Amino acid sequence: MPKGPFMLVTVGNIVSAAAQWYIVWLFARQDGAHAVGQYSGLLAILTPIFITTQLGLRNLYISLQRHVRWPVYLGLRLTTVLLSVVAGLAVIWHLGGIFDWQLAMAILLIKVSDSVADLFFARLQKAERLSAFGILLIADAFVTTAVVTFAMLATSSVIVALWGAAAVSILAAFSTGALGLRSPDPMAPGPAASQQVLSRFRTVPGDVGALLRAGVPLSLMQGIYSLLSYVPLGVVGLFGAPDDVGRYASAAYLVVFANLVGASAETVLLPGYRRRYQARGRIVLLRSVTATSVVTFIALTPLVVLAVLTGPRLLVSVYGADFSISRTAVLFLALAACITMPTYMISAMLLILNRYWATTVIGAASVLCVLVSGVIAGFSGMEAVEAGCLAVFVGSSVRYVGELVLCRLSRWPGQGSATRSANAEVLERSEVRGPDQESDDKARLQ
């Protein structure tokens, strides 16, 4: 893959992470820890809901070993967005007057726009139009930053600033959709496909059923993994004050940044992993992925030392005196960030192997370890922010080790449906591509 598109996507995700951090910093400077706590608390509620209900359709569009028509993907995504809105409003209403409703509605609109754009990004990703992908990310980040800054300078209102960000998100969703629709699916069957194959594999109920069978475990996995970031926030809220939530959220943006960069790497690596898996098999791909993840972790280790030495003072100078945390808390966050980035390389391989239920199990175990470790630390007398940071580190470690073990298994017990889907794909290819390619595809499944 050319380095230019790869760098554009990487820069785009880094700039997006920087823009989100800038918004947190701006809110902290203007309204203090309370504003950051409100903003972070709403994200902690809405993000897992949207991720859990959207069925992982973006990753399925890239990795599912069966062709499903685009209108089915789009219809299913719009349905899940509606369910997310209803669920999000219900949770916020149940919590009473904790959150400002105007703030909540603005963030809800941002989530809706991002969820729709996410699916159209999959078309760009699968067609390997990564340059357009990266440019859209960069443009969205810069425009959002400019709009939020102007709104805060003009009105000093966090609510007005977030409504401005919501307007930018809507514009970005329309732009992504327009480009995505111009990106053809390179894996779609050609017009010469037989009617027998089409009638068997391309009916709407059959397509929806295939997406639900693969998407339910994948969405559970992604929703559970989002809890790895937000359950520690609950731990801090359980043992600390609202201002502690704001202090933790500001410092924990180091892990959020690592997740965004890791997601960028996963976005770029998925098409190449799929080609390598189909051409050379699981073992060759496993060796490459394991080596790359280890090298990445070693390369990032010196940054842990730098973070511990400079982190506490840096947080105070950037956010203000109210945002001071201990070196121990910074150490936990830095280690979690270093582990998080190479974990996405392992996750990409598990997606290619279609081991969705396996990753769901690991995610659930990781969330349980986060909760248990955070609660034990809190009840043992550890300061609330430190307990949350320790929980993040424990969860990241469990996820990395667990996913690496799953990659090494020759077969996951619940993978029979994925194998059947792969066999179906071979049947379809044999009808479309000819007998020589058919024998090659069947050999790869052995």
Highest mean pLDDT among 12-16, 65-69, 114-118, 201-205: 114-118
pLDDT of residue 194: 41
Tell me: pLDDT of 169 over 60. yes
C-alpha triplet 302, 4, 110: angle, nearest 5°:
80
**Percent of the chain's residues with pLDDT above 90:** 9
More confident residue, 209 or 145: 145
The pLDDT of residue 20: 82
Residue 410 confidence (pLDDT): 59
- Domain borders along the chain are 3-414
Band (pLDDT 50/70/90 cuts) for residue 417 is: very low
108 with 50: CB under 8 angstroms? no
Confidence class of residue 373 from pLDDT cuts 50, 70 and 90?
very high
Chain centroid, CA 382 distance in Å: 30
Mean pLDDT, residues 240-260 taken together: 77
Average pLDDT, the chain: 77
Q: How far apart are CA 347 and CA 413, in angstroms?
A: 18
**pLDDT value for 446:** 31
DSSP E strands, 182-277: none
Pick from 135-139, 169-173, 229-233: least confident: 229-233
pLDDT at 163: 92
Copy the structure tokens of residue 415.
């993978």
Within 8 A by CB and 6+ apart from 348, the residues are: 265, 266, 269, 270, 273, 289
Greater pLDDT, 208 or 437: 208
Q: Ranked by mean pLDDT, which of 131-140, 254-263, 352-361 comes out on top?
A: 131-140
pLDDT value at position 240?
78
pLDDT of residue 202: 57
Closest CA to 329 of 380, 242, 392, 371: 392
Q: What is the pLDDT of residues 54-78, one digit of tens each?
A: 887 877 777 776 777 778 888 888 8
Rg of the chain in Å (alpha carbons): 22
